[in-house]
Amino acid sequence: MNAEIITIGDELMRGEIVDSNKARIAERLLLLDLDCRHQVSVLDDPADMRDAFLQAAERSDFVLVSGGLGPTRDDLTTAILAETFDRKLALDEASLAAIEAFFSKVGREMVETNRKQAYFPTGAEVLVNPIGTAPGFSIRVGRATFFAMPGVPRELDRMMDEQVLPRVEAQLISADGGASRRVVRAALLATFGMGESTLEAELLDLLRDGEVELGFRTSFPDNFLRPVARARTAAEADLRIAEATRSIRERLGAVVYGEGVDTMESVVGRLLTERGLTVATAESCTGGLIAERFTDVPGSSEYFLGGVVSYSNEAKAAMLGVPESLIAREGAVSEPVVRAMAEGARSRFGSDFVIATSGISGPDGGSAEKPVGLVWIALATRDGIHADSFVFQVDRSRHRRLTAQVGLDWIRRSMLGAELVGPSLLRRAGGGSAPGSTGAGKS
């Protein structure tokens, strides 16, 4: 049996928002070992929607539709599905009462247009939406079961998990008594510093038995590994994915920094909390980006003491105590200056760690001696200061993001007792998404 995803909305087709709902739905279907054979997006146009529904009914067993269940004139999914498959629309009193109760709870008056959200094609099964005003529904058309869901991601996620997936699983089991079904387990490992092709070369011999598939995905500046295991029983699938994850971690070491929803900043924050350590920042080219990432994590006040954005030379001298003569002699983007920035911040904040950055993010400002892309990073600890330089030949935005990621990674590696290295130094062979670097490392 196979599945198809249809997302609806002018805003998707115009590129006004990123269509993340396809990924959210497909990821959940994978857990049922259900192939997603088609993914379609259409405008809020009756003719286009009708064509998509008719094609899906012919070729797919499950059709998961996202969007178009709202109260406005361009929310057409319910009406067009009903019209396409010769169904009338009927009011569901329980849904209307739930929508009225929702508005009452938030202290708002329900307008008349919201009533349309309580109408469904005849024969539909209503899917409850406890966190929004748009209930979903399912209808059976020949071989296909359509599931219409809201486009709001958090509402979609909950409806998929609580309403849709149990129904899909029940149909899969009833089709053959579950004889042909397999249990699927998957993991997501976040890595930093090693290119995609190098990762594949490093792991090629680990997953050759066919029991586990390994996928690769790049989201700058990281690469993600997704092992997927299938088995007849949950226990067997769990064992396979656990063994695969363990083997990957053993092979890659500190290159793997997190799993699942982990971000670099959340991992670093967790390690700091566990060890009772603190951190501060002294940023020039990153302009407070590292501090922002620290404070994005709930509870970061336990370990993040503060930061200084010393973008100008005057600020470096006044706020961090960097000697003006040192800046004049060495230049702001230099090892002595970034070391002085780290030392100045540590003396002011008294933190266990300070990460300092100074670089040329471009697109202008470089020279033959100090090209665009050059950055100096320093990590100050109670044991001393480690500094290194890199030339990241990427655009300004990615230069700042990559510099921030290296800084966060150094703090993580320091706590783990791992070598403090940069992206290019981790790549032993092949290319990848992480850009190269030049310049001598010093400590």
DSSP secondary structure string, 373-419? TEEEEEEEETTEEEEEEEE--S-HHHHHHHHHHHHHHHHHHHHHT--
Q: Which tokens in the block code for residue 359?
A: 């670089």
Crossing angle of helices 313-320 and 335-349, rounded to 10°: 40
Structural domains present in the chain: 2-176 (3.40.980.10), 183-259 (3.30.70.2860), 264-442 (3.90.950.20)
CB distance 131 to 146 below 8 Å: no
Q: What amino acid is encoded at 378 in this protein?
A: A
Could you tell me the pLDDT band of residue 207, with boundaries at 50, 70 and 90?
A: low
User: What average pLDDT does this structure show over 248-253?
Assistant: 95
Eight-state DSSP code of residue 111 = P
- Virtual torsion, Cα 260, 421, 222, 273, nearest 10 deg: 40
233-242, 286-295, 406-415: least confidently modelled range: 233-242
- Percentage helix, strand, coil for the chain under 3-state DSSP, each rounded to 5: 40, 25, 35
Q: Does the pLDDT at position 433 exceed 60?
A: no
User: What average pLDDT does this structure show over 67-88?
Assistant: 95
351-375: per-residue pLDDT in tens?
A: 999 999 999 999 999 899 999 999 9
Q: Considering only residues 92 and 108, tell me which one the structure prediction assigns the higher pLDDT.
A: 92
CA distance linking residue 270 with residue 351, whole number of Å: 16
User: What average pLDDT does this structure show over 303-320?
Assistant: 98
CA distance linking residue 351 with residue 284, whole number of Å: 19
CA distance linking residue 290 with residue 265, whole number of Å: 9
Return the CA Rg of the chain: 27
pLDDT reported for residue 233: 86
Report in angstroms the alpha-carbon separations of 325 from 125, 340, 350.
76, 12, 25
Q: What amino acid is encoded at 131 in this protein?
A: I
DSSP assignment of 151-182, as one string? SSHHHHHHHIIIIIHHHHHHHHHHHHTTTT--
| Cis? peptide before 435, omega within 30° of 0 | no
Which residue from 319, 390, 305 is spatially nearest to 355, judged by alpha carbons?
A: 305
Q: What amino acid is encoded at 217 in this protein?
A: R
Q: Does the pLDDT at position 432 exceed 60?
A: no
User: What average pLDDT does this structure show over 209-229?
Assistant: 88
Q: Does the pLDDT at position 183 exceed 70?
A: yes
pLDDT reported for residue 179: 63
Please provide the average confidence, as pLDDT, over all residues in the chain: 91
Kindly tell me the burial class for residue 314, based on how many C-beta atoms sit within 10 Å of its own C-beta (0-12, 13-18, 19 or more).
exposed
Phi, psi of 46 (to 5 degrees): -55, -45
CA distance linking residue 112 with residue 109, whole number of Å: 10
pLDDT reported for residue 441: 34
Q: Does the pLDDT at position 426 exceed 70?
A: no
pLDDT reported for residue 43: 96
How many whole angstroms from its chain centre is CA 112? 38
Eight-state DSSP code of residue 142 = T
pLDDT reported for residue 429: 35
Report in angstroms the alpha-carbon separations of 74 from 9, 43, 147.
9, 10, 19
Q: What amino acid is encoded at 31 in this protein?
A: L
DSSP assignment of 232-296, as one string? SSHHHHHHHHHHHHHHHHHHHGGGEEEETT--HHHHHHHHHHHHT--EEEEESTTTTHHHHHHHT
Q: Which tokens in the block code for residue 209?
A: 């038995």
CB distance 75 to 66 below 8 Å: no
